[in-house]
Amino acid sequence: MHYARERWDTPDGDFVEVDWLNTASAASREPSAVAVADQPLVVLFHGLEGCSTSHYAHAFMDEVAKIGWPGCVVHFRGCGGTPNRLARAYHSGDSSELDWMMRRLRARHTGPLYAVGVSLGGNVLLKWLGEQGSTLSHVVSAAAAVSAPVDLMAAGDQLGRGFNLVYTTAFLKTLKRKSLAKLADHPRLYDAVRVRRARTLRAFDAVVTAPLHGFRDTDDYWTRASSKPVLGGIRVPTLMLNARNDPFLPPDALPSAASVSACVTREFPDEGGHVGFVSGAFPGHLRWMPQRVLSFFGHRGC
């Protein structure tokens, strides 16, 4: 997969990095050159510690390229390979940041704009959609959230026990490394000893994520950042795709039909794991998920 990178300066003096599938258009940096005006533009928001080279981003952008649409992967702060400038990073409820990103894309593209959020990015996207409601009718044409941990309390507790600690350990490896490196530019930002000792996301969020982003503690963060309470406010055609065997979220934490708006299509297959949905003969392929999402975007309406 070949990308062309842009760096966007944020309103508060930081930056994010955006990888464009349409390399010729992106390289020109002209506002009108991101895509042909009438073509749909697909933007993907990655998961925790993900990026444009994550397996799901590759699979998704490959399908976008096949149908001839332009696309991009927007990195949350510090996830594009370069440490961000400010003490803050990104978090599961960072809907204000996503709002700025989406409105910037809307300002430079006149065709349909489709948003996809994966895992953490899916929760942020759903929270934004629910909070903003009908005000987004001219910003985003349709959206999809894949394997979104919509109930962060349930998801966080699920990742803190049993075999799921394998996933947590993998996340913490990069989260700890980046957090400790940040202390070189921001001394006494948090307790380095507590960061090193963290063995669960609950412990890490208590010392780093929650205080850095204005939350009282982990419980406050997980409660206020969850998208599940605002799903009834969504007024944009939205697909929620979650497997019931997703190890990150117990099936009883998935939203009921009564808790989402009429604009939300809930699709909860029994199999698929977390951002997996492997299909075909062994060893399988990852095309089913992006093809399902792109098919949904081709049939808009609510």
Instruction: Give the pair of three-digit tokens for residue 5.
Output: 């990178």
Contacts of 27 (CB under 8 A, 6+ apart): 4
- Report which DSSP code applies to 279: B
Contacts of 194 (CB under 8 A, 6+ apart): 203, 207
Catalytic residue among 52, 92, 119, 227: 119
Cα angle value 293/45/90 (rounded, 5°): 155
Helix H, strand E, coil C: the string for 140-174 is CCEEEEECCCCCHHHHHHHCCCHHHHHHHHHHHHH
- Rounded to whole angstroms, how far apart are CA atoms 261 and 264? 6
Q: 10 Å Cβ neighbour count for 274?
A: 21
- Rounded to whole angstroms, how far apart are CA atoms 72 and 70? 7
Catalytic residue among 91, 109, 213, 274: 274
- Rounded to whole angstroms, how far apart are CA atoms 48 and 226? 14
Question: Phi/psi class of residue 64: alpha, beta or left (left: φ > 0; alpha: ψ in -120 to 50)?
Answer: alpha
Does the annotation mark 274 as catalytic?
Answer: yes
Alpha helices by DSSP H, listed for the chain, are 23-28, 55-66, 95-107, 120-132, 152-158, 165-182, 192-197, 201-204, 210-212, 218-225, 288-297
Does the annotation mark 119 as catalytic?
Answer: yes
Just list the catalytic residues: 119, 246, 274
